[in-house]
């Protein structure tokens, strides 16, 4: 049976089935699939080069107007005004576009750090920190400034007051000396007349005093106050007389102007009559001249038409130039769009092609390669996929090899010589200063083993032992990601947390690098990736689930699924056995349905029943869905309309295998059983068109009776190597943890009792050497028996405590 199994696995490879997607590496026979996700930089030194990008400037352009004042030009170009209006509109539109472009440019540059401003802030901070101890403190300086400000304000007020007093004195003196009462004087914000300023005695009250009244009563003489009253009355009478005089003068002036206006109107009437007569004569002469000039007018109209044609030609030429100007404005908008887009890309950490084109990168890459070549090192396209090729091994699997030579371990070279590579790096540093944008680009350099590595996401899938068993196996302690160098000499393992902390999308740059391991010392996942069955058997641990897992559909590729049905294994009859080899019986499970759309036939849906499987892969065509009633379902795949549906020819060619089912072999179990015994390296990539007629030996797990106080662990998972080792030694494996614990306890008790019997026999044989009494010996035996019993009770207590 073993020879037949090994012969079938090793020889029955054709027909096999490969996954078409080059970015997916299948090791389904081991229960692992590798998805190529990105590239990662690891173990590489960096050379930094800085690019200086001038900031674009857009000065405001001015379109001159056409001079329409020259009559000769107007005669040749009758559209002068219209052309100027068009020029004004185009000029305004261009200026608006340029101002908008400059505004967008300033807004985009404000996002970048300003190197000059940062240096000025640092210099100012240093100057503030270098203050001398003998200088006046800031509080004293503020006090002096405040005191000086108060004194200055007081001096200003005093000067202003003196100036106003001097101005009042000068004005009053001028009014007294002037004889013109009507001449206005500007004083501050008012216009004053001399009559507004009268002698003070005209307005003062006549107040006497005691001595004046006494003198007037004794001597009968008028007092000074009485004289002032009289003078005041006289002054007021003079004012009234002056007002009357002015009113009389104004009345005479009005009468005079009325007489003059009447005379002027009479003169105008006479002149109008004379003018009318002259106009009548001129009209008669104009009519005569019009009759004479009719012939000349026709020639003038013809000349204007010719001028209009020439003007139209000139106007069209002007429109052509204006269109070029407008295109130039559009190019400015395109330039500013590219520049702003480049700045936005710089903010995200990527190198923008609009600011640093491929031609500039190629020149820098060439310079770096020349510099490295002068140092006596080999340079070239490390990691360049142009040097890669895919070939098939003897066992039919694909492997990637590189044409790059790695014989000299001291070689230093660029990780990548293609410019597109540097647009994927996410660690670009940028700043601005002096109307320029400075971009610092890292150029990774590699030595042997470092540089660019291909990153794979590792997906482990539980696979069934065979189509009639509910037992599944899966690899344990699998990393989340596996990185392999381009020359496939080194690898490294990453966790999901490590990848999340990295920067980039297609190219990852991690702050903390991982150590590189040689592929000659592979880990478990690397041995599976390399398809080395012998190494897998030595470095990998696989777990066995004795209870069937729930039915599921795991997506491997866009159109490929691994299907697992727990009902298939449970429906098989496991009681019919012959020499420990399981026999198959037909299942009664309802078939699965594949529903496909047939666009060529009017979009009708067709159903195709298929037989369920315990573990197999299915490739679903476009437009198809898989329905496993009561277990799982795969929604309809949508793709190109030309690929939707299945043809009858394809159905007949595959003998009803329209879903393209493929089967696998559980290599972890087979390798653990027969890998050491036979010198055969199992392959984990190939899948079979037909289900292999192979049945692994089935060993019934051994159960021990136990009390009802301890429930059995029905989801017991065990190490596959331990399972096989126990199976080979005693053909006994416990079905749950309680049975295993009870079996170990019984073994311990039996061994302890056996040791006690041996000790009792030895004691009887050497009893003549002791002085112990029979009663003392009996007590010692009782204690020796009681201690193991107590140990057993404590062990059972610990098991119950752990269980519950």
Q: Does 404 score more than 90 pLDDT?
A: no
Confidence of residue 361 (pLDDT cuts 50, 70, 90): very high
Please tell me which residue, 640 or 306, carries the higher pLDDT value: 306
> Rounded to an integer, what distance in angstroms lies between the CA atom of residue 158 and that of residue 167?
14
Angle between the 667-674 and 2-11 helix axes, to the nearest 10 degrees?
130
> Rounded to an integer, what distance in angstroms lies between the CA atom of residue 558 and that of residue 33?
13
Main-chain phi, psi angles of 778, to 5 degrees: -65, -40
Nearest to 526 by CA among 431, 468, 456, 578: 456
The vertex-697 CA angle with 696 and 701, nearest 5°, equals 125
Helix (H) or strand (E) holding 745: helix 737-765
Q: How far is CA 758 from CA 750, 773, 786, in A?
A: 12, 20, 17
> Rounded to an integer, what distance in angstroms lies between the CA atom of residue 298 and that of residue 296?
6
Q: Note whether 332 and 58 are within 8 A (CB).
A: yes
What confidence score (pLDDT) does residue 295 get?
A: 67
Structure tokens at 631: 């277990």
What confidence score (pLDDT) does residue 753 get?
A: 54
List 617's β-bridge partners, or say none: 562, 662
Q: Note whether 88 and 111 are within 8 A (CB).
A: no
Q: What is the DSSP string of 217-280?
A: HHH-PPPHHHHHHHHHHHHHHHHHHHHHHHHHHHHHHHHHHHHHHHHHHHHHHHHHHHHHHHHH
Please tell me which residue, 749 or 380, carries the higher pLDDT value: 749
Q: Note whether 29 and 685 are within 8 A (CB).
A: yes
Could you identify the residue written with the tokens 């020439």? 310
The number of CA neighbours under 13 Å toward the Cβ of 649 is 0
> Rounded to an integer, what distance in angstroms lies between the CA atom of residue 640 and that of residue 693?
38
Q: Does 592 score more than 80 pLDDT?
A: yes
> Rounded to an integer, what distance in angstroms lies between the CA atom of residue 40 and that of residue 514?
11
Q: Which residues contact 461 (CB under 8 A, 6 or more apart)?
A: 28, 31, 32, 33, 474, 554, 556, 562
* Strand bridging mode 560-564 / 615-619: antiparallel
Q: Note whether 90 and 325 are within 8 A (CB).
A: yes
Structure tokens at 783: 């204690």
SS3 38: strand
Q: What does the H/E/C string look like for 161-176?
A: HHHHHHHHHHHHHHHH
Q: Of 144-158, 503-517, 603-617, where does mean pLDDT reach its minimum?
A: 144-158
Q: Does 369 score more than 50 pLDDT?
A: yes
The terminus-to-terminus CA distance of the chain in angstroms comes to 44
Tell me the pLDDT tens digit for each residue of 165-220: 665 555 444 444 444 444 444 444 444 444 444 444 455 454 555 666 666 666 66
How remote is the C-alpha of 791 from its chain's centroid? 64
Q: Does 132 score more than 90 pLDDT?
A: no
List 491's β-bridge partners, or say none: 484, 517
Could you identify the residue written with the tokens 């990185």? 483
> Rounded to an integer, what distance in angstroms lies between the CA atom of residue 249 and that of residue 269?
31
Q: Of 311-325, 370-384, 541-555, where does mean pLDDT reach its minimum?
A: 370-384
> Rounded to an integer, what distance in angstroms lies between the CA atom of residue 343 and that of residue 438?
11
> Rounded to an integer, what distance in angstroms lies between the CA atom of residue 667 and that of residue 674?
10
What confidence score (pLDDT) does residue 147 get?
A: 64
What confidence score (pLDDT) does residue 494 get?
A: 92
Angle between the 720-729 and 667-674 helix axes, to the nearest 10 degrees?
40
Q: How far is CA 169 from CA 166, 173, 175, 179, 195, in A?
A: 5, 6, 10, 18, 17
The vertex-234 CA angle with 233 and 239, nearest 5°, equals 95
Mean pLDDT of the region 24-49: 87
Tell me the pLDDT tens digit for each residue of 333-347: 888 888 888 888 888
DSSP 78: T
- Average pLDDT, whole number, for the chain? 70
> What's the predicted TM-score (pTM) here?
0.56
Which pairs from 370-377 meet CB under 8 Å and 24+ separation?
372/412, 372/413, 372/414, 372/445, 375/412, 377/410, 377/411, 377/412, 377/413
Structure tokens at 120: 């000025």
Report, in angstroms and rounded to the nearest whole number, the Rg of the chain calculated over CA atoms: 56
Q: How far is CA 444 from CA 48, 173, 416, in A?
A: 9, 94, 8
Mean pLDDT of the region 415-428: 89
Q: Of 134-138, 539-543, 784-788, where does mean pLDDT reach its minimum?
A: 134-138
What confidence score (pLDDT) does residue 271 get?
A: 84
Domain definitions of the chain by residue range:
13-51+352-542, 736-803
Buried b (16+ CB within 10 A) or exposed e, 26-63: bbbbbbbbbbebbbbbbbbeeeeeebebeeeebeeeeb
Please tell me which residue, 126 or 101, carries the higher pLDDT value: 101
Q: How far is CA 682 from CA 10, 395, 694, in A?
A: 7, 9, 15
What confidence score (pLDDT) does residue 458 get?
A: 94
Confidence of residue 802 (pLDDT cuts 50, 70, 90): low
Confidence of residue 133 (pLDDT cuts 50, 70, 90): very low
What confidence score (pLDDT) does residue 741 get?
A: 53
Buried b (16+ CB within 10 A) or exposed e, 315-333: beebeeebeebeeebeebe
DSSP 685: S
Q: Note whether 180 and 194 are within 8 A (CB).
A: yes
Q: Note whether 624 and 637 are within 8 A (CB).
A: yes
To the nearest 10°, report the CA torsion of 4, 6, 11, 13.
110
The order of strands in the sheet holding 542-545 is 463-464, 472-475, 542-545, 717-719
Q: Note whether 514 and 656 are within 8 A (CB).
A: no
> Rounded to an integer, what distance in angstroms lies between the CA atom of residue 318 and that of residue 77?
12
Tell me the pLDDT tens digit for each residue of 728-780: 544 444 444 555 555 555 555 555 555 556 666 655 655 544 444 445 556 66
Q: How far is CA 97 from CA 14, 93, 336, 521, in A?
A: 70, 6, 11, 65
Mean pLDDT of the region 322-331: 79
Main-chain phi, psi angles of 181, to 5 degrees: -75, -20
């Amino acid at each position: 049976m073993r020879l037949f199994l090994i012969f079938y696995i090793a020889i029955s490879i054709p027909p096999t089935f490969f996954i078409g997607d080059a970015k997916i590496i299948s090791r389904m026979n081991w229960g692992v699939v590798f998805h190529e996700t990105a590239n990662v930089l690891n173990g590489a030194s960096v050379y930094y080069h800085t690019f200086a990008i001038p900031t674009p400037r857009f000065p405001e352009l001015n379109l001159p107007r056409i001079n329409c004042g020259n009559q000769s030009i107007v005669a040749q170009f009758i559209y002068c005004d219209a052309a100027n209006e068009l020029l004004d509109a185009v000029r305004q539109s261009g200026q608006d576009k340029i101002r908008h472009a400059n505004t967008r440019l300033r807004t985009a540059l404000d996002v970048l750090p300003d190197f000059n401003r940062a240096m000025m802030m640092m210099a100012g901070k240093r100057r503030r920190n270098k203050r001398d101890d003998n200088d006046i403190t800031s509080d004293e300086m503020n006090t002096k400034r405040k005191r000086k400000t108060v004194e200055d304000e007081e001096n200003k007020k005093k000067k202003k007051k003196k100036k106003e007093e001097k101005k009042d004195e000068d004005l009053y003196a001028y009014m007294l000396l002037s004889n013109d009462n009507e001449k206005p004087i500007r004083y501050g914000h008012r216009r004053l007349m001399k009559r507004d300023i009268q002698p003070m005695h005209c307005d003062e009250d006549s107040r006497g005093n005691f001595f004046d009244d006494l003198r007037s009563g004794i001597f009968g003489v008028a007092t000074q106050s009485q004289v002032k009253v009289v003078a005041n009355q006289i002054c007021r009478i003079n004012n009234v007389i002056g007002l009357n005089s002015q009113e009389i003068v104004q009345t005479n002036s009005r009468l005079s102007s009325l007489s003059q206006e009447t005379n002027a109107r009479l003169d105008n009437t006479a002149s109008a009559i004379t003018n009318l007569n002259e106009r009548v004569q001129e009209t008669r002469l104009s009519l005569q001249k019009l009759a004479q000039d009719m012939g000349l007018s026709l020639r003038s109209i013809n000349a204007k038409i010719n001028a209009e044609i020439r003007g139209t030609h000139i106007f069209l030429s002007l429109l052509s130039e204006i269109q070029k100007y407008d295109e130039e404005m559009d190019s400015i908008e395109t330039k500013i769009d590219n520049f702003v887009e480049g700045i936005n890309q710089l903010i995200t950490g990527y190198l923008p092609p609009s600011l640093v084109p491929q031609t500039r990168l190629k020149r820098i890459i060439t310079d770096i390669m020349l510099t490295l070549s002068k140092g006596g090192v080999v340079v070239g396209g490390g990691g360049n996929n142009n040097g890669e090729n895919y070939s098939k091994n003897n066992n039919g699997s694909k492997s990637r090899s590189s044409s790059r030579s790695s014989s000299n371990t001291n070689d230093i070279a660029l990780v990548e010589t293609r410019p597109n590579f540097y647009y994927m790096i996410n660690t670009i540093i940028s700043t601005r200063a002096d109307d320029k944008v400075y971009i610092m680009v890292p150029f990774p350099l590699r030595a042997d083993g470092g540089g660019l590595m291909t990153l794979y996401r590792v997906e482990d899938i539980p696979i069934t032992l065979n189509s009639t068993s509910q037992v599944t196996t899966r690899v344990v302690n699998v990393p989340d990601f596996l990185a392999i160098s381009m020359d496939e000499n080194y690898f490294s393992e990453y966790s999901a947390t490590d990848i999340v902390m990295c920067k980039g999308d297609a190219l990852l740059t991690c702050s903390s690098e991982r150590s590189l391991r040689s592929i000659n010392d592979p880990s478990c996942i690397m041995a599976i990736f390399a398809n080395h069955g012998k190494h897998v058997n030595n470095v990998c641990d696989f777990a066995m689930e004795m209870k069937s897992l729930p039915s599921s559909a795991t997506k491997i590729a866009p159109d490929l699924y691994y299907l697992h049905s727990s009902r298939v294994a449970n429906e098989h009859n496991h009681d019919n056995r012959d020499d420990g080899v399981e026999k198959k019986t037909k299942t009664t499970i309802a078939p699965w349905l594949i529903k496909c759309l047939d666009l060529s036939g009017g979009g009708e849906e067709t159903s195709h029943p298929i037989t369920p499987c315990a573990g197999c892969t299915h490739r679903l065509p476009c437009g198809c869905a898989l329905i496993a009633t009561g277990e799982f379902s795969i929604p309809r795949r949508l793709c190109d309309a030309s690929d939707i549906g299945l043809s009858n020819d394809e159905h007949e060619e595959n003998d009803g295998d329209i879903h393209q089912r493929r089967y696998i072999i559980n290599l972890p179990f087979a390798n653990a059983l027969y890998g050491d015994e036979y010198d055969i390296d199992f392959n984990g990539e190939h899948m079979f068109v037909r289900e292999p007629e192979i049945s692994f030996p089935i060993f019934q797990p051994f159960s021990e009776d136990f009390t009802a106080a301890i429930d059995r662990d029905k989801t017991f998972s065990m190490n596959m190597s331990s399972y096989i080792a126990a199976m080979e030694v005693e053909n006994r494996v416990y079905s749950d943890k309680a049975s295993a614990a009870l079996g170990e306890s019984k073994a311990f008790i039996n061994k302890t009792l056996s040791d006690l019997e041996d000790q009792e026999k030895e004691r009887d044989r050497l009893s003549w050497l002791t002085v112990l009494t029979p009663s003392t010996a009996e007590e010692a035996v009782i204690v020796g028996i009681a201690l193991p019993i107590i140990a057993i009770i404590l062990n059972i207590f610990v098991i119950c405590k752990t269980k519950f």
